[in-house]
């Protein structure tokens, strides 16, 4: 946690649930000059989806759903669009899940976002409903999500959320604690100077110990760590060897949706969409000739392995890629497994801190001194 965190938060009333309390806090913050605009998930007018919306008129906040049932667009992508031309002093409060905030922090290290005037507000995350399930039946999706938020039972949430250890991680400037907090309350936890300043502008003083929230969070994270270990062991077996990997990715139609929604895949021209990888018909025929046939579109495995090698040290396991996959490939789970192993080797956690350097831009004398067969 950042400096400024003193083990104290502000216990806010939330008689109508956490979303209403967060809306009220945002409204008050805007009125008191803590921010000029608010980036927050909001239900679309048709009522069957949610999008990040930049709100200038606080009256619009009535439709905001800070803790929304689905992650349609990774919030880090929205922050990139907002700040890509530089920041001209407009102060924005961005409400997002911890995995989105981690992606923002990772993108800052990659010089893709400017956070000078952005205040990030995160919250304990119950997970999100798989996007395709929600699209099929939004009403049922809302019901399932409301139950998960009330009980913290994540079994109907996305597989990646069931194993997510960052679902309570306080990586933003302000964090909203919900686990282990008494019913009808929300615990507002400041992180660092920006968080403390925002709390002061709200006219609040951190005076409530966060110990119970911390204990409940640690317990939940330990459970999720166990689930992740079991899932990874299972996936490692399934993805073992070339044939295992091909089976796991068998349904892939090479549409590259997973790459387009990934906050970390930010290259303007992706190598896998470039003319460089377009061959002539006779090249394809030669390849088909060698093994008798050629799956088209070709190079599916090359795409996944290439993308993995480019960004896996920065993968925040947000699951956006899997949500965007039209054929149900467990692509986030696979990337998360490889990311976990690679990041562990470098003792690196993407998005944990802006100050922590990315492994491939640092040099350690003692790094990788052992060689495996
Ligand atoms: S991946 Fe983690 S932080 Fe992101 S929505 Fe799921 S539980 Fe929340
Ligand atoms: S690869 Fe998938 S899980 Fe990893 S950061 Fe990108 S979208 Fe998120
Ligand atoms: S894994 Fe899914 S989203 Fe990615 S390229 Fe294959 S079919 Fe498309």
Per-residue pLDDT, 36: 92
* DSSP labels, 64-78: B-SS-S--SS-HHHH
> Which residues, other chains included, contact 263 with Cβ-Cβ below 8 Å and sequence gap of 6+?
74, 76, 77, 80, 100, 103, 104, 106, 107, 316, 318, 320
CA of 132, nearest ligand number: 3
Alpha carbon of residue 258 to chain centroid? 14
* pLDDT above 50 for 3: no
Nearest CA to ligand 1 atom 4: 99
Q: What token pair was written down for 345?
A: 């080797």
Residue 83 confidence (pLDDT) above 80: yes
Pocket flag, ligand 3, residue 324 (CB < 6 Å)? yes
Report how far ligand 3's centroid is from the alpha carbon of 258 (Å). Answer: 5
Measured over the CA atoms of residue 204, residue 190, residue 27 and residue 13, the dihedral's sign is: negative
The per-residue b/e assignment along 215-253, b for 16 or more CB within 10 angstroms, e otherwise, is ebbeebbeebeebbeebbeebeeebeeeeebeebbeebe
Closest listed residue to residue 346, CA positions, set 324, 362, 330: 362
Distance 306 CA to ligand 1 centre (A): 25
Q: From CA 213, how far away is CA 148, in angstroms rounded?
A: 18
pLDDT level of residue 373 (50, 70, 90 thresholds): low
Q: What confidence score (pLDDT) does residue 4 get? A: 46
- pLDDT tens-place string over residues 87-128: 677 899 999 999 999 999 999 998 888 888 899 999 999 999
Tens of pLDDT, residue by residue over 187-242, are 999 988 899 999 999 999 999 999 999 999 999 999 999 999 999 999 999 999 99
Ligand closest in space to the Cα of 157: 1
Nearest CA to ligand 2 atom 8: 318
Q: Which two three-digit tokens encode residue 188?
A: 């507002």
* Residue 62 pLDDT grade (very low, low, confident, very high; cuts 50, 70, 90): very high
Rounded percentage of the chain residues whose pLDDT exceeds 70:
96
Please give the pLDDT value at position 87: 62
pLDDT digits (tens, 9 = 90+) for 298-315: 889 999 999 999 999 999
Q: How far is CA 12 from the centre of its chain?
A: 26
265 lines ligand 3 (CB under 6 A): no
255, 260, 319, 323: which to mutate for ligand 3, most atoms within 8 A of CB? 255
315: number of Cβ within 10 Å = 25
Among residues 118, 96, 94, 22, the alpha carbon closest in space to that of 62 is found at: 22
Distance 154 CA to ligand 3 centre (A): 25
CA distance linking residue 242 with residue 13, whole number of Å: 54
Which residue has better confidence, 348 or 167? 348
The atom number, within ligand 1, closest to the CA of 157 reads: 6
Question: Which residue has the CA at smallest separation from atom 6 of ligand 3?
Answer: 252
Determine the atom of ligand 1 nearest the C-alpha atom of 127: 7
Tell how far the Cα of 358 is from the centroid of ligand 2, in angstroms: 17
| Amino acid 371: pLDDT | 67
Taking residue 146's Cβ as centre, other Cβ atoms within 10 Å add up to 13
Task: Report CA torsion sign: 345, 224, 73, 85.
Answer: negative
CB-ligand 3 contact for 329 (6 Å cutoff) = yes
Instruction: Indicate the pLDDT class of residue 367, thresholds 50, 70 and 90.
Output: confident
Say how many C-beta atoms besides its own lie within 10 A of residue 311's C-beta: 21
- Residue among 130, 251, 258 to mutate when testing ligand 3 (max atoms within 8 A of CB): 258
Q: Is the pLDDT of residue 1 over 60?
A: no
Q: Which protein residue has the closest C-alpha to ligand 2 atom 6?
A: 262
Mean pLDDT of 47-64: 93
Of residues 288 and 315, more confidence is placed in 315
Q: Is the pLDDT of residue 245 over 70?
A: yes
What does the DSSP assignment read for 36-70? SEEEEEEE-TTSS-EEEEEESSGGGGGGB-SS-S-
HSE at residue 244, side-chain half, CA atoms within 13 A, is 9
pLDDT digit string, tens, across residues 5-22: 578 999 999 999 999 999
User: Could you tell me the distance, in angstroms and rounded to a whole number, from the CA of residue 203 to the centre of ligand 2?
Assistant: 38
In this predicted model, which residue has the larger pLDDT, 279 or 316?
Answer: 316
Evaluate if residue 365 carries a pLDDT over 90: no
Residue 362 CB neighbour total at 10 angstroms:
11
User: Is 167 near ligand 1, meaning CB less than 6 Å away?
Assistant: yes
Total residues belonging to the chain: 373
d(CA 118, CA 113): 10
DSSP 62-131: GGB-SS-S--SS-HHHHHHHHHTT---S--EEEE--HHHHHHHHHHHHTT----TTEEEEEE-------H
Residue nearest to atom 7 of ligand 2 (CA): 262
The atom of ligand 1 lying closest to the CA of 97 is 3
Query: Quick check: 2 pLDDT over 70?
Result: no
Contacts for 314 with CB less than 8 Å, ≥ 6 apart: 106, 110, 264, 350, 358
Percent of the chain with pLDDT over 90: 73
Centre of ligand 3 to C-alpha 69, Å, is 23
Nearest bound ligand to the CA of residue 123: 1
What does 193-211 look like in DSSP terms, one character per residue?
HHHHHHHHHTT----EE-H
Please, what is the average pLDDT of the chain? 91
């Amino acid at each position: 946690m950042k400096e400024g965190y003193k083990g104290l938060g502000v216990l806010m009333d939330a008689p109508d649930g956490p979303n209403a309390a967060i809306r009220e806090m945002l409204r008050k913050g805007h009125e008191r000059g803590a921010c000029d605009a608010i980036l927050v998930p909001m239900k679309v007018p048709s009522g069957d989806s949610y999008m990040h919306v930049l709100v200038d008129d606080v009256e619009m906040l009535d439709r905001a759903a800070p803790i929304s049932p689905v992650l349609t667009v990774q919030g880090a992508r929205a922050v990139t669009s907002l700040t890509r031309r530089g920041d001209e002093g407009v102060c924005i409060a961005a409400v997002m899940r911890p995995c989105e905030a981690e992606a923002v922090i990772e993108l800052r290290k990659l010089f893709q976002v400017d956070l000078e005037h952005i205040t990030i507000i995160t919250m304990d995350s119950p997970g999100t409903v798989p996007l395709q399930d929600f699209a099929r039946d939004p009403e049922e999706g809302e019901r399932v999500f409301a139950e998960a938020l009330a009980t913290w039972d994540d079994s109907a949430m996305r597989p990646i959320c069931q194993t997510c250890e960052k679902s309570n991680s306080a990586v933003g400037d302000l964090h909203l604690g919900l686990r282990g907090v008494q019913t009808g309350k929300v615990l507002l936890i400041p992180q660092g100077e920006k968080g403390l300043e925002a709390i002061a502008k709200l006219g609040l003083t951190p005076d409530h110990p966060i110990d119970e929230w911390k204990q409940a969070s640690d317990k939940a994270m330990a459970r999720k760590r166990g689930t992740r270990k079991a899932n990874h062991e299972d996936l490692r077996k399934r993805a073992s060897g070339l044939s295992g990997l091909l089976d796991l990715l068998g349904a892939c139609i090479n549409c590259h949706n997973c790459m387009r929604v990934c906050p970390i895949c930010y290259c303007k021209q992706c190598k896998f969409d470039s003319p460089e990888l377009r061959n002539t018909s006779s090249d394809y025929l030669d390849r088909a000739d060698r093994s008798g046939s050629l799956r088209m579109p070709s190079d599916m495995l090359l795409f996944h392995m290439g993308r993995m090698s480019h960004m896996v040290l920065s993968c925040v396991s947000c699951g956006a890629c899997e949500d965007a996959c039209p054929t149900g490939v467990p692509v986030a789970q696979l990337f998360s497994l490889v990311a976990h192993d690679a990041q562990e080797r470098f003792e690196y956690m993407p998005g944990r801190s802006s100050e922590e350097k990315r492994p491939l831009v640092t040099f350690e004398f003692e790094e990788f001194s052992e060689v495996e067969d």
